[in-house]
Structure 1
Amino acid sequence: MLAMNRNKVVLASFCILASAVVFTACKDKRSTGLEYARNMYDPIAPNPDQPVSTTNELLKSFKGQTAQTPPAHTSPVGFEKYDYPNTKEGYEAAGAALVNPLEATEKNLEAGKHYFKVFCSPCHGEKGDGQGHLVKIEKISGIPSYHGDAASSRGGLMKDLTAGKIYHTIMYGLNNMGSHASQLTPDERWKVVMYVQQLQKIQ
């Protein structure tokens, strides 16, 4: 009997509590209810896509915007400047001036082979013969081989391309090939260049 009364008290208490929660939540339709750790919802930093609040004294001098133009002669953190434009002249200048800064080690060559296989071989083929699986499936034509007497669309033979010309092409892309600058870091690009130059030696 005592246990039964105790169960009734617990059940009644639960029903009263649940009813109070439901009625409290329904009181204001615009309310999101109780919030835990409010500072996780409100950003501390200004949102660069929103106009400046007039209440923020610090941002009043920013002329109505939070996203600012960087100061002159500065570069973003991790940005590596590339001085050769995406032109025929830039391509030739890069070919004449750029030299692979990486040491030709087995480790760098293996890394270059890996990146080449992932990013380049679908079109250029794993042997650099221009017979990648996308060429066979999609019947894409005009993918040059890195060895033999294949000619570059910019003049000369593919097997004679310098490190700078290969790097420039990876940086900007050429013809149907898009830029790989966003997929490969400068260091990774040079490793691919190193591997491509190994493929150029195949007879």
Structure 2
Amino acid sequence: MKYSYYFFIFSIIIIISFYCINKKYPHIVYMPDMYYSDSYEPYSDPDFSYNKKFKIIKIPFFIENKTSSLPPVKGTVPRSEYYDFSSEEISNKGFEYSKKINKSPLRKKYNDLSKILKEGKELYKINCSICHGDIGDGQGILVKNEKILGIPDYKDRDITIGSVYYVITYGKNNMNSYASQLNKLDRWKIAEYVMYLKSKKR
């Protein structure tokens, strides 16, 4: 009798262990709410229910948009929108070709130049002014402290908006590429602001 009891307990433990460990074929699920999560993966079928025959989740917003991901925020700019000469032509034809470009693709998308310059100024202050100075005279804080030398004044250089974009993207001389810190759109905004500083009277 005693051995039969132990054998019975041992058999129960083996059976439970088998069903708990065998995740490939889970015949018995003790906590279905945890095993089959209610979470949604981006871009997945909004009408899925796994094995929840007793509970099909339907969220009208997701079903209407045919995806479990939220749509982009209003005003979102696709990365591929600014194709023009921003990448392939400039990268293939090089710096000399970039100097021939006198108009950025932002002009086609935005009518308000003041907004471009405002955003470009903020990006310039964060990424560029430390070397090039707030007004583009080459007298940034690092130059004044003699940490770096030879930064030119924009007014003394024969630059175009295309060449500025090229240098920000690929680097030139002592300046490294900023492509990893700034996306295409931000690079064009800074290039617009640099050309504004070049044309501005001091």
TM-score after normalising by structure 1: 0.52
Q: Deviations over 1:159-190 (max 9, x none)?
A: x3111111111111111211111222212111
The 3 A distance-change label for structure 1 pair 114 and 168 is same
Corresponding residue for residue 169 of structure 2: 171
Gaps of 5+ in 2: 1-32, 42-77
Corresponding residue for residue 185 of structure 1: 183
Corresponding residue for residue 5 of structure 2: none
Question: Counterpart of 2:135 in 1: which secondary structure?
Answer: coil
Gaps of 5+ in 1: 1-35, 45-76, 150-157
Q: Deviations over 1:14-46 (max 9, x none)?
A: xxxxxxxxxxxxxxxxxxxxxx95789xxx9xx
The CA RMSD over aligned residues, in Å, is 3.8
Within a 5 Å distance, the mapping from 1:11-160 to structure 2 comes to 37=34, 78=79, 82-84=87-89, 90-97=94-101, 99-101=103-105, 102=107, 103=111, 105-147=113-155, 149=156, 158=157, 160=158
Question: Counterpart of 1:199 in 2: which secondary structure?
Answer: helix
| Structure 1 residue ranges (4+ consecutive) displaced by more than 2 angstroms after TM superposition | 36-40, 77-81, 84-87, 136-139
1:169–1:179 Cα contact (<8 Å) kept: yes
TM-score after normalising by structure 2: 0.53
* C-alpha deviation, 1:127, in angstroms: 0.9
* C-alpha deviation, 1:146, in angstroms: 0.7
Amino acid at match of 2:192: M
* C-alpha deviation, 1:85, in angstroms: 5.8
1:84–1:91 Cα contact (<8 Å) kept: no
The 3 A distance-change label for structure 1 pair 111 and 39 is same
